[in-house]
A and B are shown apart, each in its own frame.
Chain A
C-alpha cells in the first residue's frame, strides 16, 4: 500500500491494522456525485421538515466593520423568533459576531437557548503571531462566547508546514476550554479538493469539534462538491475512531433550495445522526428570510413579497 504522508503527532486515526489513509479526491467524479445529489426532489412534508431543520441549524451571522450593538440586538431578536408572526418557526442555533459584540449578544440571548459564536485567531486572514491569536481566544471565551470559529494558518498549510497548522489548532482548542471549536479551512484559498480533504483530517485530528468551509469573506466559499469532500472526511474519521465531528458550510448559501441540497448531502453521506444543530450548522445571513418565505408558502399556499419579512 502506498505510504501515507507523514502525519503530525497525535493524529487520531488508528495505527493498528492499517495505516491511516489520507488518499485523494477525483475532481471530476466528486463534482459529478455532488451534481447528482443536488437533483434530489424534496417535496411537501419532507421539504417543510428540511426547511425547519435549516433554520434550527443556522448560525445567523454578521461580521462587518460597521457592526454595532444595535445591529447585533436586532439580529438576536431575529435569531430567537425568526418569524414574529408565526411562533411555530424554531429559533436558529447561534448568532455569530465579532468578539467586541459578544457581550451584547450574550445579554440579548440569555435564556433563549440560542448560542453565541464568535470568530477569533485574527479572523479572517489568520496572519498574526500565535500568542496574539491565543490571547484573543481566551478573551473571547471570557466575554461569554459559547463557540469559537477559528481560521487555519493557510500560509503554513500551503507551504507544507502541516505540523504548524496542527499545533496551532491543538493550542487554540486548549485555549477554548469548554467552548466549542469550529475550524475554518477557507477552502477558496486551498485550491484543490485534495487539500480540502487533508486540511479537514488535520483539523479533526487536532481536536476540532466542527470543521467549517469558509470565512464568508471571499468569493467561491462553500460549494456542494467541497461540502461533500468534507463530509466524507468526517465520515472516515467516524468510521475509524467513532468520534462524531460536526460540519458547517458557510458563505454563499442564500436560497432554500440550495440549503436543502446541502442537507440532502448530509443525509445521504453521514446519515440522520448528523441532522441536528449539535453536529450541523449553516453559516448564513440572508438565508433565513428565503426559508421563511418558502415555509409560509408551504403553509398558506401563496408566496408573499419580501416586504412581509423583516430585514435585520
Chain B
C-alpha cells in the first residue's frame, strides 16, 4: 500500500440512519382567504353571510374561511341545477363524455396540487393522496366518461333516462375521491348535481370548481355547497330527485327516515367493521403488510378498514409478533413528508371518539400495544394501536372506531371464521388470506360483505362495484352497477 493510500481523513461514522425531512412543497397550492358557494358556475355569497374556518389537522393552522350554506342557498343551488338539467340531459352521451374526459385530464395535470391540498386539509400522508386518492379520482372520471355514450348497450332492452337533480353528501376521509365517485356517474348518466363536501375537508372540492371552469362544463351542472350537517339536511329536504350519501350509519338512518315516502331515490354507503381473516397457510409477511394496509391506511379513517383481525389460532402468536415488529417501523408524522406512513387524525372530534373507544377497550380488559413513536405536539395525532385478547363482545370489536386501532381475535376452523366475521351489524368488506384458491371461493360465498378481498386489502378500482350489506348501506358505486342508481330504467 502506498503512502497516499494510507492517508485517511475520516470522522467516526454515526450509528443511526435518520431520514432527513422530505416535505412536498406546499407553495404549489394557492388558497384564497375566503370562499363562497359555487352555484351556476359562479362564486356567490351565502345568503346569511355566515362562514367558518377550515384548518390543517397536522397543526391546527387556519387555511381559509368557507361559506356556511343555509336553506335558501340550497334552494337556489337546486333550482340552478334543475334549470341546467334540461340542456345537459339533452346532450348526446358522446358530448357529455367529452366533458368528463376533460375533467379527468385536468385532474391528472393538476394532480400534485390536489394531492398537497388533500393532505394539508385532511391530514392524510402525501404518499397516499399522491398515489391513491388523486389518481383514482381521475380514473373514475375516465371510466364513467366511457359509459356516457354506451348506456343503451349497458342496459339492453331498457331505456336508461337520467333522474334529474342529485343531492350528494360526502365524507371527510377521501374528500376528492368520494366527490369523483359521486359526480362522475351522475354526470355520465345526464343528471345535474348539488354536492356538499364534509365540514372539515371542503378545500379540494372548492379547488375542483376551478377544474370545472377550466373544463368549461356548462354552468349549473355541478354546484358545490359547503357547510355543516344542517346544510346536508337541507339538501335532503330540497327538491332533488336522488340523494347519495356516504358517511356514518347514524346519519344514514336519519336520512332514510326522512326520505321515506318522498319518492326520492337514495343510496347509502355507511360504516363498517370489516373482518380480515388470516389462515395458517397464508404468506405471513405479505399478510402482515395487508393487515397494516387494512387498518393503518389513511389513519384507519376508512369505512372498509380491516378493523377486526381474525387469525387462525395456530399462527396467532408469530403473526402478532410480526405485526408488532412491523408497526414499529411505521413513520407517523407530518402528512406532507414523503416518507410519512401514518398522518394526522382528521379532527378533534374524531380524535376524542377514538380515545374514548380505546379507553373502553382497556377497561374491558383487552391488551393494548402501541409502538414507540414520538407524536407531534400540535395538531391531532393517535399512535397506531393494536388490541390483543379481544372478545367478540367488547365494544372495540363491535363498534366502528374509524381510527388506527386494530382488534385481534382468533378462530380455529373456516366455519368459525365465517360465523364470527358475519356476526356484526355491518357488512361492507372482508379480507381472506390463504394460499388455497378453493378456500377463497368458499369463504367469499359465505361472507356477508359487499367486497371480499383475497390476499390483498383496500384495493380500489373504478370498474369494481363497492357497497354494503346490512347497516353498511345499500346501492353500489363503481362499475356498471354504479351507473344504475343514477338512471331510471324503463
Contact = CB atoms under 8 A, between A and B. Distances in A.
A87 B286 contact: no
Contacts, number: 97
A239 B284 CA distance: 14
Contacts of A275: 17
Contact of B280 (A1, A25, A40): A1
Interface stretch (B73-81, B314-322, B345-353): B314-322
Interface in B15-57: 15-22
Contact of A272 (B15, B321, B339): B15
A24 B281 contact: yes
B9 interface: yes
Contacts of A263: 17
Given A28-B455, A87-B7, A108 B1 contact: yes
B20 A18 contact: no
B5 A30 contact: no
A41 B22 CA distance: 6
Nearest to A2: B281
B17 A49 contact: yes
B248 interface: no
Given A1-B280, A2-B280, A28-B455, A47 B286 contact: no
A14 to B, nearest CB: 12
A42 B286 contact: no
Interface string A256-272: 00000001000110001
A121 to B, nearest CB: 30
Interface string B269-292: 000000000001111111101100
A268 B329 contact: yes
B10 A88 contact: yes
A41 B285 contact: no
B283 A81 contact: no
A87 B8 contact: yes
Given A80-B1, A87-B8, A25 B285 contact: yes
A50 B286 CA distance: 27
A108 B482 CA distance: 71
B435 interface: yes
A43 B20 contact: yes
B456 A29 contact: yes
Chain B interface secondary structure, helix, strand, loop or mixed?
Answer: loop
B16 to A, nearest CB: 6
A81 B5 CA distance: 6
A80 B22 CA distance: 33
A26 interface: yes
Given A43-B22, A87-B7, A88-B9, A272 B286 contact: no
B283 A33 contact: no
A62 interface: no
A112 B10 contact: no
Interface in A94-153: 108-112
A239 B322 CA distance: 10
A60 to B, nearest CB: 14
A33 B17 contact: no
B333 to A, nearest CB: 13
A302 interface: no
Contact of B20 (A33, A44, A84): A44
Contacts of A45: 20
A50 B17 contact: yes
B98 interface: no
Given A33-B289, A52-B13, A1 B315 contact: yes
A24 B435 contact: yes
Contacts of A39: 127, 131, 338
Interface string B345-380: 000000000000000000000000000000000000
B254 interface: no
B14 interface: yes
A29 B314 contact: no
A82 B185 CA distance: 60
Interface residues of A, number: 46
B4 interface: yes
A25 B1 contact: no
A77 interface: yes
A46 B281 contact: no
Contacts of A52: 13
B410 to A, nearest CB: 13
A110 to B, nearest CB: 7
A54 B282 CA distance: 34
A272 B318 CA distance: 22
Contacts of A268: 329
A43 to B, nearest CB: 5
B352 to A, nearest CB: 31
A33 B455 CA distance: 13
Contacts of A50: 17
Contacts of A272: 15-17
Nearest to B341: A36
Contact of A46 (B18, B314, B456): B18
A32 B19 CA distance: 22
B286 A30 contact: yes
A45 B19 CA distance: 8
A23 interface: yes
A90 interface: yes
Contacts of B314: 1
Nearest to B126: A41
Contacts of A267: 17
Which of A43, A44, A84, A275 has the most chain B CB atoms closer than 10 A to its own CB?
A43
Interface string B290-319: 100000000000000000000000110010
A278 interface: no
A239 B324 CA distance: 13
Given A1-B280, A23-B283, A41 B1 contact: no
Given A29-B286, A39-B338, A40-B338, 16 more contacts: A1-B280, A24-B281, A26-B287, A30-B286, A41-B338, A43-B21, A49-B14, A80-B1, A80-B5, A87-B7, A87-B10, A88-B9, A112-B1, A112-B5, A268-B329, A272-B16
Interface of A: 1-2, 18, 21, 23-26, 28-30, 32-33, 39-47, 49-50, 52-53, 56, 77, 80-81, 84, 87-88, 90, 108-112, 232, 239, 263, 267-268, 272, 275
17 contacts: A23-B283, A24-B283, A25-B286, A29-B289, A29-B456, A32-B289, A40-B19, A41-B22, A44-B20, A46-B20, A47-B20, A52-B13, A81-B4, A81-B5, A90-B13, A108-B1, A112-B1
User: Top 6 nearest A-B pairs by Cβ distance?
Assistant: A29-B286, A41-B22, A87-B9, A26-B283, A26-B286, A41-B338
